[in-house]
Amino acid sequence: MKTRKIMPILLLAVCLVISACGGGSKNSGTGGGGDNKPASTNASQGSETPNEPTPPAGKKIVLGFAQVGAESGWRTANTESIKEAAAAAGIELKFSDAQQKQENQIKAIRSFIQQKVDVIAFSPVVESGWETVLQEAKEAGIPVILTDRAIDSEDESLYVSFIGSDFVEEGRRAGRWLLEQFKDATEPVNIVELQGTTGSAPAIDRKAGFEEVIKENPNLKIIASQTGDFTRAKGKEVMQSFLQAHKDIDVLYAHNDDMGLGAIQAIEAAGLVPGKDIIIITVDAVRDGMQAAADGKINFIVECNPLLGPQLMDAVKAVVEGKEVPKRIVTEEGTFTSEEAKAALPDRKY
Amino acid sequence: MSVRWWNKPLFWPLAVFGLLLLLNLIFKPEFFAIRYQNGHLYGSLIDILNFGSPLAIVAIGMTLVIATRGIDLSVGSLVAISGAMACLTISRGDDQHALSLVLTAVLLALLVSIALGLWNGLLVAGAGIQPIIATLILMVAGRGIAQLITSGQIITVTSKPYNFIGAGWLMTLPFSVYLAAAVFLFAAWMTRKTSLGMFIEAIGCNPTASRLAGIRSRSILLAVYMFCALCAGIAGLITSSNVSSADGNNAGLWIELDAILAVVIGGTSLSGGRFSLTGTLAGALLIQTLTTTIYMLGVPPEITLVVKAFVVLAVCLIQSPSFRRSLTRGIPWSPAASGQEVSRHG
């Protein structure tokens, strides 16, 4: 009997704990920013500085941005870039962190619609399932811009523009460099591939672009390809198995830096020299990856630029002013060899 | 009634384990190649021991929790928290290679783990919340805590002594194997050489009866959840030190499910009351061998999970005595018969 009376109170307490913890992790999501609601405060502080461009029609543009989460250093840099660019452009930013969950993102978008923001931008956690909520935004007359990741909806009128990297092109760039390196090769070159999370757009596209290019040289052969889930631990584990199963690996192509960094440890543990015995190509160019490239352990990095804040703000302004915006805006990206990485490292933002 | 050899709980996981090894022997003989290199053994079998040890350690802790008719879903988050805590402490230190710093970091990480285990235990034993709900709280919140510790970044450390925990070698074998062995021996000794094991089983069988019989079930539950959290903490140290970095978002992701699977494959019933630590160890090894086999054979990543699911399904089905009987005698597989078998089988 006694427990029955206590249970509702306990449940309430648990709910409180959960919601408090939820707040805590949200805090961590924007951890790079340092405080709990850096977005709006930053933006409003930014607006008080005198030397910034005046927003059109005297009214401040309000942008609602629903971020994926804070799953990697890349994402944190992406968040920072958007916040800084919004402050610099005098756009009021309402920032929401979805913690890698689609339902959170849909909730955030609905709340943006209720708050009647001028533009909604978001990086979709997954590709599908956005029609309903985007239709709601469309009916409310709020333009939507996708950043970084695309959606697979057939109705292209649901969003005005998609700003982000071209993952297929990233794969092609990696492939082109390899093609150039081994253009005189007469013997088969054995390539192993560490894929990103199975089914994710970057994994599918980076694989497709790479394969498309290396087809030109029949000597270049992918002898093993397995997912490393974009993480170091998995990258190391899978690479270790590759090294056991195949005695003659010449090239490693990893879909992101972290898997490459894990694989480097596996290669070293096998008594081989990464970058020499096995040529390593990765995508992303985050700090740890650039460091490894500068140390000569990664031979070639294709950049996947997270700093798309300024391009996003330009697009937001254009949309509000009623100008035509291209349906697809590709972020500006480079590539780095070991020497270039060494030179570029001191100035890197992320 | 004497138990026939194929009815022993350990037989079937070991049989499937043997089958996997046979598969490798036929298709990838390199699997068994072990060579001596840089003063230690090197090969797939060693890799299985090395990468399987965190899972084995987590599963050992999980076995005891499950034996009390509980479950701990928060171990994956604890793995992340422990690794994040250790890496943060080390990265803040002046000299990353200092042994004292690494020891402080390890101690701190384990203390935090035990404290969080105490929290789980208090919710279960003190507040009487169902274990699956009580530990779900920390499973969800723990990832957030881990990301809070790492500020959402991957913390990379260069500390040599710390790297030794997960990637070091002692007497030709990976150091993590010794850790797993130590945890296993400690758990086995505590439960089989003292009366603790019997108390745990008693609580799992019938909490009320065991309390009336004078067993202090609350303290034992607290201890069991704290031990499970400590195991997760050790696994977290191994995982993060193996790659010299802490990834709050991905470290130990879904390891709770693998650990529960290892426990079940090992013949421990989820309804509590009976447990087999050796079985759990066999289950953990089976899961890791399966993973490595999939990599070695070059199974396409798109169907990896399906292949895993089929093997697990096969192991679970073949462990069910009534399913085996229906196979051999062709009689219909009735739920009544299976229930009877389970209770007799224990």
Nearest to A80 by CA among A29, A25, A151: A29
Do A212 and A136 fall into the same domain? no
Element housing A147 (H / E) = strand A144-147
The percent of residues above 70 in pLDDT, for chain B, comes to: 93
Q: What is the pLDDT of residue B269?
A: 84
Number of domains within chain A: 2
Say whether pLDDT at A276 is over 90. yes
Cα separation, B183 vs B171, whole angstroms: 19
* Mean pLDDT for all residues in chain B: 88
Is residue A338 assigned to a domain?
Answer: no
Do A150 and A200 fall into the same domain? no
Mutate to test the interface with B, among A25, A197, A206, A243 (most CBs of B within 10 A): A25
**Beta carbons of B144 and A26 less than 8 Å apart:** yes
All residues of chain B having their beta carbon less than 8 Å from the beta carbon of residue A67 are none
A320 to chain B, closest Cα gap in Å: 33
**Beta carbons of A76 and B153 less than 8 Å apart:** yes
Among A56-65, A206-215, B84-93, where is mean pLDDT lowest? A56-65
Do A297 and A229 fall into the same domain? yes
Element housing A303 (H / E) = strand A300-303
Do A81 and A137 fall into the same domain? yes
Is residue A254 assigned to a domain?
Answer: yes
pLDDT digits (tens, 9 = 90+) for B112-130: 999 999 999 999 999 999 9
Nearest to A68 by CA among A112, A4, A114, A123: A123
Do A313 and A289 fall into the same domain? no
pLDDT digits (tens, 9 = 90+) for A9-24: 555 555 454 444 443 3
Is residue A10 assigned to a domain?
Answer: no
Is residue A269 assigned to a domain?
Answer: yes
Count of CB contacts below 8 A, A vs B? Answer: 145
Q: What is the mean pLDDT of residues A90-96?
A: 92
Do A191 and A118 fall into the same domain? no
**Which domains does chain B carry?**
5-298 (1.10.3470)
Do A205 and A271 fall into the same domain? yes
- Report the SS3 class of residue A72: coil
Mutate to test the interface with A, among B150, B158, B290, B295 (most CBs of A within 10 A): B295
Is residue A86 assigned to a domain?
Answer: yes
Do A154 and A171 fall into the same domain? no
Do A157 and A171 fall into the same domain? no
What is the signed CA dihedral for A272, A275, A276, A279, rounded to 10 degrees?
100
Q: What is the pLDDT of residue A24?
A: 37
- Is the Cβ–Cβ distance between B109 and B83 less than 8 Å? yes
Q: What is the pLDDT of residue A273?
A: 95
Cα separation values, B313 from A234, A251, B320, Å: 24, 37, 11
Q: Domain range for residue A261?
A: 167-304
All residues of chain B having their beta carbon less than 8 Å from the beta carbon of residue A229 are 250
- Is the Cβ–Cβ distance between A151 and A121 less than 8 Å? no
Do A48 and A92 fall into the same domain? yes
All residues of chain A having their beta carbon less than 8 Å from the beta carbon of residue B291 are 237
Is residue A14 assigned to a domain?
Answer: no
pLDDT digits (tens, 9 = 90+) for A293-342: 999 999 999 998 888 899 999 999 999 998 888 888 888 888 999 988 88
Q: What is the mean pLDDT of residues A115-125?
A: 91
CATH of the domain at A157: 3.40.50.2300
Do A138 and A118 fall into the same domain? yes
Cα separation, B142 vs B127, whole angstroms: 20
pLDDT digits (tens, 9 = 90+) for A241-273: 999 999 899 999 999 999 999 999 999 988 899
pLDDT digits (tens, 9 = 90+) for A33-62: 333 333 333 333 333 344 444 444 567 899
Is residue A90 assigned to a domain?
Answer: yes
Say whether pLDDT at B91 is over 80. yes
Do A121 and A183 fall into the same domain? no
Q: Quick one: DSSP state of residue B4? A: P
Is residue A58 assigned to a domain?
Answer: yes
All residues of chain B having their beta carbon less than 8 Å from the beta carbon of residue A349 are none
pTM of the model: 0.80
